[in-house]
Amino acid sequence: MKDLYKILGVSEDAGEDAIKKAYRKLAKENHPDATGGDKKKTERFKEISEAYTVLSDQQKRREYDRLRTAPVGADGMPEGFDPDAFAQVFGGGGGPHVGGFGDLGDMFANLFGNAGSFSRGRGRTRVQTRGADMVGTLEVTFKDAALGGRQTLRSGSGKPVNVNIPAGVETGARLRVPGQGAPAPRSGQSGDLYLDIVVQPDAHLRRNGDDVELALPLTLGEAVLGTQIDVPTLDGTVRLTVPPGTSSGAKLRLRGKGIKRPEGGRGDQLCRVEVVVPRLKPDDVESRRLVEELENRTRPPKVRGF
């Protein structure tokens, strides 16, 4: 069996706080958002999440510890292993989820490194009639992750399959595509396909909860006098009005241009103003004089609160 304690770098008698602390540190270091989609670290992130799923749950951890220390039978499985009890403890349900395990074959593959047939002891052999589950990585665009979309890829049998990308999905989520894993050699019944989501970063937009943020540089004149600027959004280019006297740090809101919510509606897009101050040449006396005149005319009695 995989050593989940070693994966998280904790001792076998580690408490809940130590396990949680180790998980948060490793997840932060290996999260695809922080590693630029590095495939090795994405797999490491998945392995860390699966280890935490087991060790953070008391019942799953007890059963894992029991199986881990049990004598191994001739079939390579821990003695006294009961697949039905295993599925009941670890939860064999499917559906999209973040980290953790999918169905029984997926749990087997992750804990035992084998999604094939297994036995429950002499005279009680149980052959797996479905094919092995398969796990892959699905890269999606920032827009498809925010609004939902569809991709076509190859299933375990080599046939094309359409995958629906739910709106609002984030990096680290896992999609389950039933019946699109590897086909069983005899029955032909395929396992499931699990896809770990990696959202590609956008050149300009960043996600913040249900909202989208955009850094909006303005010249000094645009900030003082006001202007209209064409800005990128998830729905294409939109003309934004910048009021006169807009300062750095101000957030101009575009309502309903954010992330699509599962229950309906969308978040907003917040355009964060960054006033770009010009750098004057040392010998540009005239520009310096104009700036000083503007400063004397417009400076309020007190601009700082300290």
Percent of residues, the chain, with pLDDT higher than 70 = 76
> Where is pLDDT greater, at 218 or 297?
218
Which pair of tokens denotes residue 264? 């309906």
pLDDT of residue 85: 64
Residue 40: count of CB within 10 angstroms of its CB: 9
Which CATH architecture is the domain 205-298 placed in? Sandwich (2.60)
Q: Are 142 and 202 in contact (CB under 8 A)?
A: yes
* CA atoms of 306 and 294, how far apart (whole Å): 23
Strand residues in the chain grouped as ranges (E): 97-98, 118-119, 125-126, 134-140, 149-154, 160-165, 173-177, 193-199, 205-208, 211-219, 227-233, 236-242, 251-254, 269-276
For the chain, helix (H) and strand (E) counts, in that order, are: 10, 14
pLDDT of residue 94: 35
Decide if pLDDT at 125 tops 50: no
Grade residue 18 by pLDDT with cuts at 50, 70 and 90: very high
Q: Put residue 93 in one of left, alpha, beta given phi > 0 → left and psi -120 to 50 → alpha.
A: beta
* Average pLDDT value over all residues in the chain: 81
**pLDDT digit string (tens) for 48-101?**
988 888 898 888 888 888 887 777 655 556 666 666 666 666 654 333 333 344
* CA atoms of 27 and 32, how far apart (whole Å): 9
Name which of 20, 26, 110, 31 is nearest 57 in CA terms: 20
Grade residue 253 by pLDDT with cuts at 50, 70 and 90: very high
Topology of the domain comprising 1-114: Helix Hairpins (1.10.287)
* CA atoms of 58 and 64, how far apart (whole Å): 10
Q: Average pLDDT in the 151-180 region?
A: 87
pLDDT of residue 193: 87
pLDDT of residue 121: 42
Q: Average pLDDT in the 111-118 region?
A: 48
Which pair of tokens denotes residue 284? 């540009």
* CA atoms of 180 and 158, how far apart (whole Å): 9
Decide if pLDDT at 109 tops 90: no
> Where is pLDDT greater, at 146 or 130?
146
Decide if pLDDT at 269 tops 90: yes
- Domain locations along the chain: 1-114, 128-200, 205-298
β-bridge mates for residue 151, sequence order:
163
Decide if pLDDT at 135 tops 80: yes
Grade residue 126 by pLDDT with cuts at 50, 70 and 90: very low
* CA atoms of 5 and 7, how far apart (whole Å): 5
* CA atoms of 171 and 304, how far apart (whole Å): 41
Grade residue 150 by pLDDT with cuts at 50, 70 and 90: very high
Most confident of 174-183, 204-213, 285-294: 204-213
Topology match between the domains 1-114 and 128-200: no
Sheet architecture: strand order including 97-98: 97-98, 173-177, 193-199, 134-140
CATH number, domain 128-200, options 3.30.160.20, 2.60.260.20, 3.40.250.10, 1.10.1660.10:
2.60.260.20
Residue 281: count of CB within 10 angstroms of its CB: 8
pLDDT of residue 77: 61
pLDDT of residue 68: 77
Q: Average pLDDT in the 165-185 region?
A: 87
Q: Are 103 and 109 in contact (CB under 8 A)?
A: no
223 residue type, one letter: A
Most confident of 107-116, 177-186, 221-230, 279-288: 221-230
* CA atoms of 155 and 175, how far apart (whole Å): 14
pLDDT of residue 106: 55
> Where is pLDDT greater, at 298 or 98?
298
* CA atoms of 138 and 166, how far apart (whole Å): 13
β-bridge mates for residue 303, sequence order:
none
Decide if pLDDT at 120 tops 60: no
Q: Average pLDDT in the 30-45 region?
A: 79
